Structure 1
Amino acid sequence: MKTIHSTEPILDFCNGLKNGEYMVNRDYQRSDKVWPPNAKSFLIETIVLDYPVPKLSLHQNLDVKSRKTVKQIVDGQQRSMAIQEFYQNKLRLSRTLATERLRNKTFEELDEEDQATFLNYGLNFDIFVGATVDEVREVFRRMNSFTIPLNPEETRHATFQGPFKWFINSLSKQYDTAFSEVGVFTPKQLTRMADAKLLTEISHAIEHGITTTSASSLSAMYKAHDNDFPQEEVMRQAIESAFDLALFESDIAGTPLAKPLNFYALALAYVHVGGHLRIPGEFDTPDAPSFEPGDRLFNLSLLADALEADSPNDASREFAAFALAAKDRTNVAAQRKVRFEFFLEAISV
């Protein structure tokens, strides 16, 4: 078997699909699930913005009777079909794309510059020449053996393609710079989608209340909204309003309040008082006489000081429960609820 690496403009690739030079071999299709419009739109946006996309793999065969070489698409079939649909003006891009000029556009409705970028974009291929079917399968077995295992967040985003996945994806893109600058996540954590997990947990709490979450419960959120997500707009408004306050106006950068477990509770407190949605459940009011009415930043600084004590026992008595809830069993509903109640009191008094 010989492997050839090549690059071809989308224009030539689409013409090749039309002329039968490239063919889809369904035997290699890993999933029968067709990409929804949001997934296709994200791919086209990636191409028009000239970001790299994964290479496609082709199995080249010689048809002796027709004396033609046919390349079967063995990896990248969904990408190929999305590209072809857009090229043929059969795909209208999503209204929710991050790039405003591309929203709700077909190919012929793009600016000429964007059309040219799309058509000239170089797709990268691995072409397997003279290979048997078993050898092609062996290629992917070996490739997968060198791949870093996906974490639960990456698995969810590879599995689901519905509106909730793209809702989380757009919020991640919107706030990843702020998350890094404030100190909620490191760049490495962002590359492994820690922000997607936090956003999913916050969305889960908005819908179901503050609970102990797990990989299965978060995946269930994606599954429940894989076909429709009627709450998307109001939840987006609630999260954006809360994050604008929590990230940009609460002065938490470099403090323990920026840690994901505390940001989770602080963001939910802002959601609760923001007027768009309220967190389901009943909550207690902690006894915190040191809080100053109307001085949110001062009150948050008191909570930050309590977390900077050497141990929860060193925190002042009124904030000891808060400090303890931020130390142990941080994913458990009871501790999350305590942190939420203190944050809610701090920003509400």
Structure 2
Amino acid sequence: MATDSILEQFRIHDFLSWHDNGSLKLNPDFQRREVWRPEAKNYLIDSILRRMPIPKVYIRTSVDPRTRKSKREVVDGQQRLRAIIQFAEDEFALTRRSGEFAGMRYSTLPEELQSEFLEYPIAVDTLQNATDSDVLEVFARLNSYTVSLNPAEKRHAKFQTAFKWSVHEAARDWKILWEDLGVVSGRDRLRMGDDSLMSEMFSVILKGVTDGGSTAIDRLYMENDEFPEEDVVRGILDSTLGAIVADYGSLIASTPLKRSPQFLMLFSAFCHGLHGLRQGGLGLELPPGGQGLRDSADIRSSLTGLAAALSEDTPSGEYAEFVLASRGSTQRISTRAVRFGYYLRAVYPS
């Protein structure tokens, strides 16, 4: 392999200048077929404006002997650079997901923020005089070092839709669940376990309690491309989680109720009491939803009993079926229905 790789750093204004003078080429031969959706572009620009890191770019460089000018061919990072160039040329405005930047184009940003955008540094691996074969070999070797993506990471990479970003933002907004209650561990969060559980909570709101697992979650992402119900779903999610965390957060954090499969069914029961759920895949007949909750002292007593049962070595007594369902597959509707039933009796007004 007759090529050198040099790690460099350039500013956004460098890329814009190269684009303007024609020395920057977004090589279609290495272009992935998927084109970024507006949500993905928005998230990238938002990250830049907030001075958060983005992945590095790979560029193949060469010098034309006749013109004595450098050529820069982007072989990885094209979608990112396209989005940056389009934003700089006022081709799109930021959406409401960008908070205080919502509705802004590059031309309407404050001058100070424009300067910060232009000065934003991007790490670049420069492949000098590399052939197509050299480039493919580089990526083959890079991929051989990486850990295989799990289902949650694959979904995050594949889908660039309103639904995907809504799930991701909700997981970020409710970081108290992960950081304080420990519902998803730090290690699992690195592999997007928080997004995975959050997507299941979205599913409960949209469909009721159903079978879980990667196939079901993938289907949910595909069915909710544009996600017009976003505001309604977020309202239900926020009010339900708010009620759980405010009154029972400390109890959950110190017991097995914080385990993701338990928390999901606990969330489902609270959600039915406060808002009502669809029948989903449950075999049992649901009582009317949206009737409110039991007295908090009664709920706390019942949840304490369920938590204690989960800690027993041998299940017995009134919670035996609940414990057995907790030790089986937590994704199947058969075991979810049992656990949901116990949680519903714990929180639903009699």
TM-score normalised according to structure 1 size: 0.91
* 1:209 maps to amino acid: G
Unaligned runs of 5+ in 2: 288-293
CA shift for structure 1 position 293? 5.6
Residues 60, 126 of structure 2: 8 Å contact kept: yes
Matching of residues 8-19 of structure 1 within 5 Å: 8-19=10-21
Secondary structure of the structure 1 residue equivalent to 2:70:
strand
CA shift for structure 1 position 180? 2.6
Deviations 1:180-233 (A, max 9, x none): 31121111111111111111222223333322223222111112223x112211
Q: Specify the alignment match of 1:237 in structure 2.
A: 235
Secondary structure of the structure 1 residue equivalent to 2:330:
coil
Q: Specify the alignment match of 2:119 in structure 1.
A: 120
Deviates more, 1:258-267 or 1:107-116: 107-116
CA distance in 1, matches of 2:76, 2:322: 51
Aligned Cα RMSD in Å? Answer: 2.0
Residues 176, 190 of structure 1: 8 Å contact kept: no
Q: Specify the alignment match of 2:51 in structure 1.
A: 50
Q: Specify the alignment match of 1:289 in structure 2.
A: none
CA shift for structure 1 position 336? 0.7
CA distance in 2, matches of 1:113, 1:249: 44
Q: Specify the alignment match of 1:248 in structure 2.
A: 246
Q: Specify the alignment match of 1:266 in structure 2.
A: 266
Question: Within the alignment, does 1:66 sit opposite 2:61 as a pair?
Answer: no
CA distance in 1, matches of 2:286, 2:346: 10
CA distance in 2, matches of 1:168, 1:75: 27
Residues 208, 277 of structure 2: 8 Å contact kept: no
Q: Specify the alignment match of 1:344 in structure 2.
A: 344
Q: Specify the alignment match of 2:290 in structure 1.
A: none
CA shift for structure 1 position 284? 5.1
CA shift for structure 1 position 13? 1.4
Structure 2 vs 1, CA of residues 225 and 65 (structure 1 numbering), >3 Å: closer, same or farther?
farther
CA distance in 1, matches of 2:295, 2:114: 57
CA distance in 2, matches of 1:51, 1:137: 29
* 1:60 maps to amino acid: T
Equivalent of 1:298, from 301, 304, 324? 301
Equivalent of 1:307, from 305, 310, 326? 310
CA distance in 2, matches of 1:236, 1:189: 23
Deviations 1:254-297 (A, max 9, x none): 1111110110001111221222x5232453589xxxxx866222
CA distance in 2, matches of 1:76, 1:256: 43
CA shift for structure 1 position 247? 2.9
Unaligned runs of 5+ in 1: 287-291
Residues 285, 341 of structure 1: 8 Å contact kept: no
Q: Specify the alignment match of 1:225 in structure 2.
A: 224
Question: Within the alignment, does 1:110 sit opposite 2:112 as a pair?
Answer: no
Question: Within the alignment, does 1:166 sit opposite 2:165 as a pair?
Answer: yes
Q: Specify the alignment match of 1:186 in structure 2.
A: 185
User: How many equivalent pairs are there?
Assistant: 337
Structure 2 vs 1, CA of residues 93 and 129 (structure 1 numbering), >3 Å: closer, same or farther?
same
CA distance in 2, matches of 1:273, 1:18: 59
TM-score normalised according to structure 2 size: 0.91
